Amino acid sequence: MGERLKLIIWICVSLLAFLDFGEASKIGICYGRNADNLPSPNKVSELIQHLNIKFVRIYDANIDVLKAFANTGIELMIGVPNADLLAFAQFQSNVDTWLRNSILPYYPTTKITSISVGLEVTEAPDNATGLLLPAMRNIHTALKKSGLDKKIKISSSHSLAILSRSFPPSSASFSKKHLAFLKPMLEFLVENESPFMIDLYPYYAYRDSAEKVQLEYALFESSSQVVDPATGLLYSNMFDAQLDAIYFALTAMNFKTVKVMVTESGWPSKGSPKETAATPDNALAYNTNLIRHVIGDPGTPAKPGEEIDVYLFSLFNENRKPGIESERNWGMFYANGTSVYALDFTGESAAPVSPSNSSTGTTSPGPSSSPGNNGNSTVIIGGGGGGGARKWCIASSQLQRRNCRVHWTGLAVPEC
C-alpha cells in the first residue's frame, strides 16, 4: 500500500474517531389518565402501536399500564407523583419497596427507560423542591442495588417558569429562588448522564401576550424572524426560542453539556371564550409542524443539529383536570376513542399544515365492511374483553383524503 493511501486512511479514521453522529431526534406521546371512561390500557397500547409511536410518558407506575406495554418494545418514561416525594425522600426503604413491587416484576418485559421524579415541583402549591433531590438519590440507590442504575435514567420535569427570564434566549437565567436545589440536581444529572427535562408550551406565551406574539410564530408558520440582539441568532418559531433559553440558562450555570429533553409540548383544541387560539385547527398545525421540525433534526439556532427529543401532550383529553377549559382539551383523542383531529405522527404528509388548510375531524368510528378492490388494506383493532374485534380499512397511498373518514387511530380511513 502506498504511503499516500496510508496517510489518507489514517486521516479518515482519525476524523471518524472525533465525529459524534448521535442519535436521531425522537417523538413520543404523553399518556395521562385523569379522565372518565378512557379505553383500557390494553386498548391504548394497541392504539399507540398502531400509530407506530415508540416512546410513551406515563405519570405513575400503574400496574395495568405497565402490563399493557409488555413485549411491545415501546420505551416508557414513568413518573413519580408529587404526592409521593415525601415518602421517597424520607426513607430508602419506601423506595426499595416501590421498586420491588411496581417496577422489577415488569422489567425488562416492559421497556422502562427513565423515571421522571415529581412534576413541575416549582409550580406545585406545596413547593416540594426540597424533597426532589433526596427522592432522586434514593431512587438511584434502589436502582443501583438491582443493577439498573445504568439502564434507567432519573430526572425531573420542569415548567418554563423555572426561568426568571426567557427572552432574549441568550439572556435567559434560572430564577434565583430555585438555585439552591437546581445546582445539586444538575450535578446529579451530570454524574448519571441524565437529561434535564423541560415542558415547553408556546401556546401559553401566545395566550398571555397575544399583543406581542404573533400566532404564526407560535405555530411554526411565521414568514419573518425574531432576532436575539446579543447573539444575532434568528428565530422563526417560539419553540426554538424557548428551548435555547434553557440551553443558555444551563450554560450560565456551567452546565453546558447537559442534554435537554422536552417532556411535554402541545396545543389545546378548545378553551374558554377568551382562549380564541385554542382550536382543533391550531392544535393540528402546531403538533404537525412540531413533529416535522423535530424529525428534520435541524436543532436550534444556538445548537444547530442538536438532537431534540419531544413528548407530545397529550394522547387524550382529560375531563377531570381542574382549571380553565383548555386544561381539559390537550388531547389528540376524546376519551371515547374518537379523534379530535387527524395527526400524522410520521410528519411525512406532503401538504403544508397551517390553520387555514389543516384537516380536523371528530367522526365516531363504525365497523367497516369487507375490504374493497381499491388497494386498501385491513387491520384488526381490539378483540377479547367481550367486545370482539373490529376490522378497519387503511387507506392506500393513492386514495384521496376527501374520500376518507377519521378512524380513532387518527388515520384516514376509506369507506371500503
Give per-residue burial for 236-265: e unless 16+ CB within 10 Å, then b: bbbbbbbbbbbbbbbeeeebeebbbbbbbb
The number of residues in the chain equals 416
Report d(CA 316, CA 333) in Å as an integer: 5
**Residues contacting 125, CB < 8 A, separation 6+:** none
Active-site hit among 46, 221, 264, 318:
264
264 is catalytic: yes
| Grid cell 426503604 in the structure block, residue | 93
Of 218, 318, 326, residue with least CA distance to 273: 326
Active-site hit among 120, 275, 306, 307:
120
Q: Using CA of residue 190, residue 192, residue 195, residue 197, what is the dihedral sign?
A: negative
Report d(CA 134, CA 128) in Å as an integer: 11
- Rounded to 10°, the helix 129-145/179-191 angle is 20
Report d(CA 135, CA 70) in Å as an integer: 27
Helix H or strand E encompassing 406: strand 404-406
Q: How far is CA 106 from CA 44, 113, 171, 245, 281, in A?
A: 18, 12, 45, 38, 39
Long-range contacts of 137-142 (CB under 8 A, 24+ apart): 137/188, 138/88, 138/89, 138/91, 138/92, 138/94, 138/95, 139/80, 139/88, 139/95, 139/99, 139/115, 140/188, 140/192, 141/92, 141/95, 142/92, 142/95, 142/96, 142/98, 142/99
Q: Are 177 and 220 in contact (CB under 8 A)?
A: no
Q: Using CA of residue 61, residue 65, residue 70, residue 76, what is the dihedral sign?
A: negative
211 is catalytic: no
Residue 208: how many other CB atoms lie within 10 Å: 10
Catalytic residues: 120, 264
